[in-house]
Structure 1
Amino acid sequence: MDGILPISAFSRATLISANTLRAYHESGLLEPAVVDPRTGYRGYRAAQFGDAAVIRDLRALDVPLAAIREVLAARDPAVTRRVLAEHQERMRAHQARIENALRVTAELLAEPAAVTPAAVTERELPPVTAYAVTGSVREEGFGRFLEQAYLALETEMNGTDPDGPYGALFPSEYLDEPAPVTAYIPAVGGPARLPGGRFAVAEFTGPYPEMSAGYRALGAWLAGTSHTIAGPVRERYLIGPGDGVPETGYRTEICWPLQLLEEEC
């Protein structure tokens, strides 16, 4: 075939393995110039070296395939700069998570008692009237969503005094994809109503990114009972941003609504 390189030669010229080239073809990222209908052999043109080089360089930076596809489709420096800036922010967030994990690991190695589960109590919580707003949010966006939601709710309340600590509701099952999160501010006469009932409650002290320890304590407690989670879990921010304390002094109540296992449908 005139001007066509077989996949083996194209692979050697671009320093991309044949298996990876096949995967790029299947994903629509880098399609061969021709595919033999009889044998299925793939052939590429020399003009595709440029796209292959862009893909190889961006994958070396861990840029997602979808973002690379956007760069190749646009062929616009402004789009490339935006995609790389977004990837840089993702990498910075990933680095921050790694640094936090290393710090927590070092603390636990220095003080193993820190992994002792928080105390869990059963408590009857009354219904709550509140101002509330719900959004679909990924875990990494919880903080920003709650901050913006509380500002909007404070404006909606128009000077009405809160009737308790600010809080939020999360799905009973953890989700990797965007999940419904409800921010609320308790207030007499609020248009929303949070049901009361029997709750398992753990009070966690410390920064929000480390709150998983409180959830583990509740899970361990629940495993030793005949109960399950009856609905959205509730976080009540007793002390937090704006209270003039460092993050290590934040206090959060994590509340799981309970029902007996035999009551499940």
Structure 2
Amino acid sequence: MATRLSIGEFATVTHLSVRTLRRYHDSGLLEPAWVDEFSGYRYYSVEQIATAQVIHRLRELDVPLAEIRAILATDDPQQRAEVIAGHLRRAEAELERARDSVASLRRLLRPEPADIRVELRSIPSRKVAQISARVRLEDSLRWFSSALDELDAEFPTSERLGPPGGLYDNELFSHGAGRMTVFRPVRDPRRVGRIGIADLPPAELAVVVHPGPHDGLDVTYGRLGAWIVNHALAVDGPVHETYLVGPRDTPDAAQWRTEIGWPVFRLAGTAEGALPSSGAPPTA
């Protein structure tokens, strides 16, 4: 009996509450070493201390209960370590996204610079290699990465005429699903697999460059939208993005540059060229 710890003692040494330990027991994650059949009192062994703390850490990382059971059930330490390492990588990615969201909020509250530089640009027609499909918004990043990987594999650097780009229908953002097109300007576009050839029509665009991580793109979209309301008339048509510098060019997100082009009608007297914004987004 000396090696057995009551649930209260076990809670003290593991820094887990009695309520939490009972929940672990009820869910089958951590059953006591012994339960008194008459009193129902739970007792734990010293060897279970580390297991309880591992479960607690995994729960803090939001690892599902079913996966924790699988981790604890495996006898292969290497496999167990790989599964846990995968969750750690995902947790780190979530933390990075949270930091980017905080940075975006700070830019919204205290935009620097207060004005954005918008250029009215006439884009000529172009023939490009492209992949296009109707995509759900939650799948868009994965689909984009896969499509661009396919284009890059088929058209090496020597065949490319400029940075890659994308066209995104308004309904992708307004209804959560819409047509996405990822393209590359290349010397000799050709059809291979799902890669097709597209003749992009000429377009009149209000263009702004978003610096830094892609998680803050929505902030720049909002500021460009405010500019358009004050200076031009937006039209239905796909939003243009051009990835001047991106993850494939440098891992340093601070160096990334994404060009956003919004289709517009020009108002009378508005010439092509760069114009400052008439104002910044409101601050809270």
Question: Which category describes the TM-score, using the shorter chain as reference length?
Answer: 0.5 to 0.7
Tell me which residue corresponds to 1:90. 90
CA distance in 1, matches of 2:52, 2:112: 52
- Counterpart selection for 1:220 from 220, 223, 226: 226
Tell me which residue corresponds to 2:165. 167
Tell me which residue corresponds to 1:37. none
- Counterpart selection for 1:63 from 42, 61, 72: 61
The C-alpha deviation readout for 1:197-253, integer Å capped at 9, x for no partner, is 76653321533446524222234346678757655x431134567989x97675432
TM-score w.r.t. length of structure 1: 0.55
CA distance in 2, matches of 1:15, 1:182: 52
Aligned residue identity for 2:82: R
Name the CA shift for 1:204/1:182 in 2 (closer, same or farther; >3 Å): same
The 5 A counterparts of 1:1-265 are: 15-17=15-17, 20=20, 30=29, 46=44, 49=48, 52-59=52-59, 62-66=60-64, 67-94=67-94, 96-97=96-97, 113-119=112-118, 121=120, 126=125, 128-132=127-131, 139=141, 145=146, 148-154=149-155, 161-162=159-160, 164-170=162-168, 172-173=172-173, 182-187=181-186, 189-190=189-190, 191-193=196-198, 196=201, 200-209=205-214, 212=217, 213-221=219-227, 230-231=237-238, 233-238=239-244, 251-256=257-262
TM-score w.r.t. length of structure 2: 0.52
9-18 or 188-197, which deviates more: 9-18
CA RMSD of aligned residues (A): 5.5
8 A contact 1:11–1:21 mirrored in 2: yes
SS in 2 for 1:119: strand
67-76 or 9-18, which deviates more: 9-18
Identity of aligned residues (%): 24
Question: Highest relative contact order (Cα 8 Å, sep 6+), 1 or 2?
Answer: 2
From the CA coordinates, give the structure whose radius of gyration is larger.
2
CA distance in 2, matches of 1:205, 1:122: 16
Structure 2: gaps spanning 5 or more residues: 1-5, 33-39, 191-195, 266-284
Paired residues, number: 235
Structure 1: gaps spanning 5 or more residues: 1-5, 34-41, 260-265
CA distance in 2, matches of 1:182, 1:92: 30
Name the CA shift for 1:146/1:114 in 2 (closer, same or farther; >3 Å): farther
CA distance in 1, matches of 2:18, 2:236: 49
